[in-house]
Structure 1
Amino acid sequence: MTVSRKPLSTERVLQAALSLADKGGTDTLTMRAIGQALGVEAMSLYKHVANKDAILDGIVDLVVAEIALPDPADAWKTAMRRRGVSAHEVLLRHKWACALLMARPNVGPAMLRYVESTLETLRGAGFSVKQADYAWNAMDSHIYGFTLQRVNSPFEADQYAEAAETYVPRLPPGEFPRLTELAEHVMDGRYDGVPPITFGLDLILDGLERTIT
């Protein structure tokens, strides 16, 4: 085992755990694996992190810290749109994180700043406390669901045309004209299965704007 030359710290442990999770998911996060990545014995990690739950909480907060906060200088819809796009892009880089964000309470410093800035933007736009809560959750439901759809898609963008060519001949002639029409669009090779995240996000933002009282 290579001896670690840098002193251990909570930050180093979490960064090593983040790297492992990005490569193999959170199931790979054992103290032994993290220790090997750092070149130390697993027991030495406990001086810096209490347990695996603390590691999961820590690396989720590292991911959230990568998301762009709403810019107070922007109009609220612009700020929230950028926030949504940034969150989607970050969660695609860390494919394990989306499910973990939905499954665990998150109260790390980055998450607290993220939520506070989001609520401040919405309250500043004229949303009531209740409306701001609903608006934030509506946007995040779309962001998380859309991201999970992309992460778990069985096809890459260039595979949709091939799949359509395989399954369209199995459709009874004339029985599913709209599916056939869509399949022909898919087979031109430019279809990647889902619209950009901004399609749904803009619909939500436009709808939320009408609820401001």
Structure 2
Amino acid sequence: MNGYEFTLAGARLTALGSGALFWRDQNLLCVSDMHLGKTERRARLGEAQLPPYETHDTLSRLQADLEATGAHTVICLGDSFDDALAARALLEAEKLWISRLQAGRRWVWIEGNHDPGPVDLGGAHLFELPVPPLTFRHIAQAGYSGEVSGHYHPKVTLPVRGRAITRPAFLLDSDRLVMPAYGTYTGGLRSHDAALCDLMRPEALAILTGNTPHPAPMPRGQRA
């Protein structure tokens, strides 16, 4: 299992190369912003269509992470679906797939700004979830320590072995962790955006996803 280990508020965590977060002591896996059903929503609204396999690809990676970690608790940290209609429009095979992943596990859907939580797909539905010393919520709030959130879909560009690489990334400082989007075909906000620069402390790290998670100082300024 490839990952980068770090400590937040005393909790020992692992940022996985897939964009998931694993908390070994709690046997807990957290993913954020899966945006399942994005292809269906874009087609429904007459927008430019995406290849039709994004939900399958996202669920395949989630299944692989669950098999690799053996996690007994799963937190889906908001915007699990691209909107409420996308959740209802899932294929029956996809709904059954989610049910199989849930079997024998505690499964928590955190409310996002795109979806209120898929109330007919099993699991618990919460606005936020405290698991001391951490709190899991969709959008970061000022003044908190030990916070794990998503929403922003952070991306980072760094020079690696002589070429620029752009990848989804975790952003980490002494107060919080902002998760990358886990879903296939989700966009992203560059780390130099004011919203992220204002949120994260000056010492913040970016942990790039990929085969080998790569930590580096969070890029700021005009270019990332």
TM normalised by structure 1 equals: 0.27
TM normalised by structure 2 equals: 0.26
- Which structure has the highest helix share of the two? 1
The structure number with the bigger radius of gyration is 1
User: Comparing both chains, which one has the higher relative contact order based on Cα–Cα distances under 8 Å and sequence gaps of 6 or more?
Assistant: 2
- Which structure has the highest strand share of the two? 2
